[in-house]
Amino acid sequence: MCLIALAIDQSRRFPLVVAANRDEYFNRPSARLAWWTPEDGGPSILGGRDLEAGGTWLGLTAQGRLAMVTNVRDPSRIDPQAPSRGQIVPQWLRGTEPTDRFWMRTALSGYNGFNLIAADFQRGECFWASNLRAHPRRLERGTYGVSNAALDTAWPKTTALKQRLRLALDQADSVDALAGALFAALGDRQLAVDADLPATGVSLELERTLSAAFIRMPERGYGTRCSTLVISERVGRHTLTHVMERSYTASGAIALLRQATLKHWPPRYSDEAPARPVEPGVVSDGPRTRVRSLLKPVTTPRRSTRRSEP
């Protein structure tokens, strides 16, 4: 993915919403949204699939894991021999390592710059990580955005997508209405003004073209290949999650809409299990909350108030 907005517990009806665009060369072979099994084993993944290097840009499992990745734009630090960043997503979805061990191994694996948003809802946790930072950041209830820079970097298209996500959550009275508003936001082709453009090491003309949420560069055979939505809806005491993928041709026309619905997803973390402590090397994004969330409240060790003897 190259543009993601994420809302966690910002709506009672829609507790989890993801809106994301994948930008890629059109000659890179890919499979559309479906369930598939990784070649090296693990649970089945719902998501698109990169058929050139394997892996995916966004995927989830029935067991309650979710992950999505974007690249960090910095031409001066690109290693053409680095492994594909799309491999990171199925490695997280496999769920064989605790967060701190997974992060340490992934950060040292030689990938080019990346952003990873990863959640394990059975454990009630979600975090953002980048191999350009020392530690992952634990996410709490809120709205987040990421493109090809760090989380919540105020690039115009990232800021705009977050704002439109908040507005859609406030106004939508159905899944279809919310999906329509988010697909419209992801399809926005408006370019940012030059004064607001970031400086990432590419030409001003290219920076300007890449500033739109929906990218179309026919002369390079590059652009937005698909838009993906993950919308969880509370229906009575149950949760339904709708996953939708709208794919596009090289001309920008809509090629296909695929969707899947998961019952009782995301799973709720156990009420009986104690709140998870802050793990070493993971930065907490906020204090505990008394409101029930998809995410387990973080606990911090209490300091003793007993005075030491003189």
Element (H, E) at 120: strand 114-120
Using CA atoms, how far residue 123 sits from 1, 71, 85, in Å, is: 25, 27, 25
Is residue 79 included in any domain, yes or no? Answer: yes
Is residue 211 included in any domain, yes or no? Answer: yes
Is residue 278 included in any domain, yes or no? Answer: no
Q: What is the CATH number of the domain that holds 81?
A: 3.60.60.10
Is residue 80 included in any domain, yes or no? Answer: yes
Ramachandran region, residue 47 (left: φ > 0; alpha: ψ -120 to 50; beta: rest): left
Using CA atoms, how far residue 303 sits from 163, 299, 307, in Å, is: 39, 12, 11
Return all residues near 107 (Cβ < 8 A) that are at least 6 apart: 129, 131
In terms of pLDDT, which residue wins out, 285 or 17? 17
How many domains does one find in the chain? Answer: 1
Q: What are phi and psi of 272, to 5 degrees?
A: -80, -25
pLDDT digits (tens, 9 = 90+) for 86-122: 999 999 999 988 888 899 999 999 999 999 999 999 9
pLDDT digits (tens, 9 = 90+) for 46-71: 999 999 999 999 999 999 999 999 99
Choice among 63-72, 218-227, 286-295 with the minimum mean pLDDT: 286-295
DSSP 171-184: H--SHHHHHHHHHH
Is residue 270 included in any domain, yes or no? Answer: no
* pLDDT above 70 for 303: no
Is residue 292 included in any domain, yes or no? Answer: no
| Side-chain-facing half-sphere of 171: CA atoms under 13 Å | 12
Tell me what pLDDT residue 290 has: 41
Is residue 156 included in any domain, yes or no? Answer: yes
pLDDT digits (tens, 9 = 90+) for 237-270: 889 999 999 999 999 999 999 999 999 999 988 7
Is residue 174 included in any domain, yes or no? Answer: yes
Domain encompassing residue 251? 3-263
Which DSSP symbol is given to 131? T
